[in-house]
Amino acid sequence: QQQVKQSPQSLIVQKGGISIINCAYENTAFDYFPWYQQFPGKGPALLIAIRPDVSEKKEGRFTISFNKSAKQFSLHIMDSQPGDSATYFCAASRRGGGSQGNLIFGKGTKLSVKP
Amino acid sequence: ETGVTQSPTHLIKTRGQQVTLRCSSQSGHNTVSWYQQALGQGPQFIFQYYREEENGRGNFPPRFSGLQFPNYSSELNVNALELDDSALYLCASSRQGNKYGYTFGSGTRLTVV
């Protein structure tokens, strides 16, 4: 059972455009929702994260929108640049440590930003 | 501040063999978590080590085992390798199991033939 569903699988955006990636979760016990960026041959790197007590968080060109009632959250990349071309993963975890607090990842979205 | 380093970067093994992957945690981090990332998929949690003890495990069989050493470095051991074990194995370190501060290494690409 996939607990975090991510869409789309791939995304092509023109330079300067807005990239939007969506995730939906099932477990209401999740209390932490990060987004990771992964370049080929590298491990995932934390991009931005949100807790369920806020509806939006912005860091530079990256914004997370969170809808607790719909159990959905999304990543918006404003003014997308070719250097943003990477695979993006949403994730979620429950309160606590060990296996409870481990990150559960979506399947990823491969973003290509065309010059 | 050094990041998380993993070795080797690539490895090819034959089905049925055993493999050991290594991870050095980021300076100041005492918790190590291991994830398996199959091609085209998101990482999946294998287990976590804190204070040299396993501190949580995902849905992986016992042939996946690990160790953590006093310097907080860690090993992932996989016995009786299967073709489906082919994946990128990621190590992530954090402070005292703080999931908010995960730092991932670049991973070890394991191919089982």
What span, in angstroms and rounded, lies between the C-alpha atoms of B93 and B78? 20
pLDDT digits (tens, 9 = 90+) for B25-71: 988 888 999 999 999 999 999 999 988 999 889 999 999 999 999 99
**SS3 state of residue A97:** coil
The stretch B80-86 carries a mean pLDDT of 98
pLDDT at B99 over 70: no
List chain A pLDDT tens, one digit each, 115 residues.
568 999 999 999 999 999 999 999 998 889 899 999 999 989 999 999 999 999 999 999 999 999 999 999 999 999 999 999 999 999 999 877 666 678 999 999 999 999 9
Instruction: Determine the Cα–Cα distance for residues A57 and B12; give it in Å rounded to an integer.
Output: 42
Q: By percentage, how much of chain B surpasses pLDDT 70?
A: 96
The reported pLDDT for the residue numbered B94 is: 87
Test B48 with A106 for CB contact under 8 angstroms. no
- Identify which of B95, B89, B90 has the alpha carbon closest to the alpha carbon of residue B111: B89
Taking chain B, what is the end-to-end CA distance rounded to the nearest angstrom?
A: 37
A36 CB-contact burial (10 Å; exposed 0-12 / middle 13-18 / buried 19+): buried
Distance from CA of A2 to the nearest CA of B (A): 11
- DSSP per residue, B56-113: EE-S--TTEEEEE-TTS-EEEEE-S--GGG-EEEEEEEESTT-GGG-EE---EEEEE-
- The average confidence (pLDDT) of chain B is 93
Residue B2: per-residue pLDDT: 72
- Report the pLDDT value the prediction gives residue A94, as an integer from 0 to 100: 85
Contact A108 B100 (CB under 8 A): no
Distances (CA, A) of B85 to A59, A102, B44, B68: 37, 20, 12, 22
**Residue in this structure with the two tokens 């997308």, named with its chain if needed:** A80
Q: List CB contacts (< 8 A) between A108 and chain B.
A: 40-42
CB contact under 8 A, A107 and B48: no
Question: How does pLDDT run across B22-32, given as a tens digit for each residue?
Answer: 999 988 888 99
Q: Is A103 on the interface with B (CB under 8 A)?
A: yes
Hey, which residues 47-86 in chain B have their CB within 8 Å of chain A?
47-48, 50, 55-58
